[in-house]
Amino acid sequence: MGSTKNVLLGRSLRELEEWVVGHGYKPFRGRQLHEWLYSKGVKSLQEITVLPKHWRQTLLEEGFEVGRLREINRFTASDFTTKLLLETNDGENIEAVGIPTENRLTVCVSSQIGCPMACRFCATGKEGLNRSLQAYEIVSQVISVREVMGRRPSNVVFMGMGEPLLNIQEVLQSIRCINEDLGIGQRRITISTVGVPNTLPQLAEKAITFLGRAQFTLAVSLHAPNQQLREQIIPTASKYPLQSLLDDCSRYFSLTGRRVSFEYILLGGFNDNYEHAKELADQLSGFQSHINLIAYNPIGDDEFSRPTMQHINSFRNVLENRGLAVSFRASRGLDKNAACGQLRRQHFQSINGGAT
């Protein structure tokens, strides 16, 4: 893992101006750097031809770098969802996904290399955790997707590899950069979590302190209407009772004023029947919330199956009849393992035809 102090990506305009002044140059050089890092998306110092050549060489000799991740592989699904395998400076791999529609481009970013939460329905969780990502490594994913897909991202979701609330400070630093330097509004950024004890109020307080506000969307992965069922699919839930999680969600709302979104993966024959829907409605009654239903995406084993559309519609109807706001998220990139829960640092077919 490269030294953060020698990486330029992730620094704000003010930080870049102060940095160039510290090297004996005028502040306008910092503004030039900012443009080339974030608008032009350069990958190396040598590409920043607007800077004096001798200074670029000196910076290289001193170990400074832009901080972009290297694209190893790329695959595009039939719906044009594009998954990138990116390599970090220390030789690790992560996946980022670009999900396009006519009017928007959503970038799904990873916050860790692997994940320690071990959710049974998630491919990433089956690999364990290697390490957390630094802010510049998260920002680089957004720029890489923008570059590959040739259009400006409109939304960023922390729904890739890893548990964002186990990497709060770096996640918030990356949000600052994505918001201020890449120009993506906080309200178009979503942090998804399966739940880590005592972190939701901490996230709210740190966001308000560090960012000045907490306007991003918080998406909490429930995936079960009761504690017993939840522990069967989310091992870490045994240390975080469902009621405590919901209490923390209420606390988060009181601190930020932002409605919480609840995610619920429908696992065929496991948590998708009529009684489960009624129990979930009881749990969330009175919440300022939105429920996002997701059909299970296969991850290469036979442990779970996708629900039928009849079960999906029945489940949704129960919730809506109880006055809850509900939507169903259609799977994107499913045929290339780029859908929700399918990211696994795969060394799939190389973009230049070879196998890695």
Q: Which residue from 83, 130, 154 is spatially nearest to 340, judged by alpha carbons?
A: 83
SS3 assignment, position 264: strand
Asked if 191 and 215 count as a contact pair (C-beta separation under 8 A), the reply is no
CA–CA distance, 295 with 288 (Å, rounded to integer): 23
Which residues face 189 on adjacent strands?
156
* Coil, helix or strand at residue 204: helix
* Cα gap 340→110, rounded to integer Å: 12
Q: Which among 115, 119, 177, 340 is annotated as catalytic?
A: 340
Q: Let me know if 71 is a catalytic residue.
A: no
340 catalytic? Reply is yes
The active-site residue out of 95, 163, 170, 263 is: 95
- Strand order, beta sheet including 155-158: 70-76, 82-87, 93-100, 105-108, 155-158, 189-193, 217-221, 260-266, 289-295, 326-329
Q: Active-site residue numbers? A: 95, 340
